[in-house]
Structure 1
Amino acid sequence: MALRQMLRKDTPGSSCTACPGRRWRSVHCPRRQTIKTCAVGPQLATSIPIAPGLRPEPWTNAPIQQNALAELQKRFSADAAPPDEATMKWYLRDRYFDVEEAEQKLRSMLKWRQTFQPQSTTPQMIAAEMASGKAYVHNCTDKYGRPAIVIRTKLHVTGQFPINDSKRLAAYLIDSAISRIPPGGEQIVGIFDLRGFTFAQNADFQFAAFMIEAFFEFYPRRVGQVLFVDAPWVFFPAWEVIKPLMRKYASLVRFLSVSELRSEFFTSETLPPDFK
């Protein structure tokens, strides 16, 4: 049930149409078809700057970490389908190697995936809401090697679609973005385009609560940063409601302008088309 990356060889001679001069890397998503994503090549881990935002604790194979992993594996040993080692390590890193907290959070995620079944979502199941254009996974990573989910908030109209359908679309996009993380990377970035946001139509607190839960319970620390672009003044009353729900993770959020997004996070070739 881990969200692994299974990387295949680059297609000879192919290139990224959104990022001229870069090659496509074929990425196999374990629950769907092979997809293509822009990659910066084998030097990614050493050539990109350290990303801002909240990252998980590093795995160093220190004795305390190895002991925590052994204890967590023991706790799941009687389960019919225990999570794999990579998933256990990720949750230990997220919980600062506290086995009790890692187990609790990991079981919560496994229960959600068993009941909600996001891994069974097909493009056809979310086609209607996807066609609204409210969100997509950008073809290229940012300067820090992170796949980006772009959310056009003005196109998310509260109540237009059943809440479970919106949750399914969100999980599908997060899984898709994670499957596109290049070698050496670990996280994704969420970009909320707040231009045109109105409180009456777009302030969906039920969906926002799910997104917070998903980002920090079901996909802990996979979202390294949340960028709020060109937030209008009418957004801030909604933010005052959402911010306390995020607790310490509110520090992941950065308010910035389109020009700052262009200069700090993307190149002219890799910038999402919404911000060109």
Structure 2
Amino acid sequence: MSAQIPPGRVETLSSDQELRLKQVWSHFLKHWGVPVDSAKVLAQENNQKPLSTTNTATSENKPKKGGSKLFGRFRKSAPAPKSEPLHKRTSSVTSQRSAESIESAYPHSLIHESLKNLKPEEVRENFWDMLRTDYPDNLLLRFLRARKWDTDKAMGMIAHTLHWRLKDAQPDDVIRGGEQAAYKNHEEGYVKNIELSKATIRGYDKKGRPIVLVRPKLHHASDQNEEEMKKYCLLIIEQARMFIREPVDCATILFDLTGFSLSNMDYSPVQYLITCFEAHYPECLGHLFIHKAPWVFPPIWNIIKNWLDPVVASKIIFTKNINDLSEHIPKEHIPEYLGGEDTYDFDSYQRPDEACDAKLSDGETREKILAERKEIIQRFIDVTVKWIECSSATESKQLLEEKIAISKELSKNYSQLDPYIRSRSVYDVNGTLKV
């Protein structure tokens, strides 16, 4: 697995990129009521030039010419069939285009207006709750990279995501309740998705990114309602985030279309996943492999590809066999049934015993770790204020290094806190997840 730190992360920032990060933090701190003299860094916003960005299609994301005939055939432009219902061709919640239309209502001058329905303390708490073991700066940098280092657009995207996390999806509640919540709340469709293991997090690709194996042949639209489907999607996304460790900051998805037929096709979860990755989990997708696509798939792909942002589309690779997959994934992490060496039984889900959640009732220890976390966060904020206000490049570099060191403390603190706030999943029980 590669441990190389990519460009555009807190450890590898250019001076211009660091300035944009300072601007984002300035807006957050001002909204939270933290005293900070940010006039100098914010004064440079209006006349900023676009920065080159690392999230455009690169040779790393583009499929290699060898073995790409299938990919090329599927990418030929074709309009949606006339018989296709309008709601399946165009969705109000599908792509980045719809997300950006919302974000456009949040310009720089009205950044506080974008958070008008959220209390500052509510936004502050949710921001720190968004973190798992990732660093605070790298979380914000995902939004900056996704918006090509445009501070205003990045702030709009973050505001949109905070509204979504707090007022709509509540993904933190989903991951903390975990699989047990589905059973306790008697959500039959949600439970069925879990027990069928439609999506399983298993193994890593050659860049150290956790792999989510999705088996659409197990899906039928009638098995669950829309709310249950969304919860299952969020559970898998948030569980995948639990596997990510710095400097890795994204996951890989392997859609195995073995046994797929038209009876398995359901556009709603596809639309929802596109929305999540483009609008709320930017820069969290490494590659998306579509494996063994059958002959019925091209018309479906012609519809789906029109919903995709070009950056996301550039990360999609069609594969046909073990040789294609093994270019990106070590054979020991490819399922045996696909020609690899992983003998894991993907149909063997067992509900974790409720006894595994004993630490959830230990409020005393939880409060002690949370108090330590609060102190670490305050130190991070204090150093961030100094970093924004400092006047020399040397001092800025030293303070940024101090921020990184505190981020590592915060990451370690979350590892200690996790069993006291999150119900154990099948991955905790089988030992593949070690937070």
Q: Could you state the TM-score of these two structures normalised by the residue count of structure 1?
A: 0.74
Cα offset for 1:269?
A: 2.1
Greater gyration radius: 2
- Tell which deviates more after alignment, 174-183 or 213-222: 174-183
- Tell which deviates more after alignment, 237-246 or 113-122: 113-122
Corresponding residue SS for 1:71? helix
- CA deviations over 1:85-138 (Å, ceiling 9, x no partner): 442222112222111111111112111111211111221214332112211111
Q: 1:89 aligns with which of 124, 132, 141?
A: 141
2:318 matches 1:265: no
Superposition pairs of residues 138-217 of structure 1, within 5 angstroms: 138=202, 140-199=203-262, 201-217=263-279
2:291 matches 1:239: no
In structure 2, distance between residues paired with 1:56 and 1:203: 38
* RMSD over equivalenced CA pairs, Å: 2.1
Q: Could you state the TM-score of these two structures normalised by the residue count of structure 2?
A: 0.48
Higher relative strand content: 1
In structure 1, stretches of 5+ residues that fail to align are 1-39
The size of the alignment, in residue pairs, is 225
Partner of 1:45: 3
Cα offset for 1:236?
A: 1.2
- CA deviations over 1:192-250 (Å, ceiling 9, x no partner): 01112112x22211211111011111111111111000000101111111001003121
2:327 matches 1:252: no
State the one-letter code of the partner of 2:214: I
State the one-letter code of the partner of 1:129: N
State the one-letter code of the partner of 1:90: R
Q: 1:69 aligns with which of 21, 44, 47?
A: 21
Specify whether residues 226 and 262 from structure 1 end up closer, same or farther in structure 2 by C-alpha distance, changes over 3 A only: closer
State the one-letter code of the partner of 1:177: A
Partner of 1:130: 194
In structure 2, stretches of 5+ residues that fail to align are 32-119, 128-135, 183-189, 340-435
Higher relative helix content: 2
- CA deviations over 1:25-58 (Å, ceiling 9, x no partner): xxxxxxxxxxxxxxx6xxx415xxx9xxxx8844
Q: Which has the higher contact order (CA 8 A, sep 6+)?
A: 2
In structure 1, distance between residues paired with 2:303 and 2:169: 26
Partner of 2:160: 108
Tell me the percent identity: 27
In structure 2, distance between residues paired with 1:100 and 1:149: 33
In structure 2, distance between residues paired with 1:74 and 1:254: 39
- Contact kept in structure 2, 1:262 and 1:275, CA below 8 Å: no
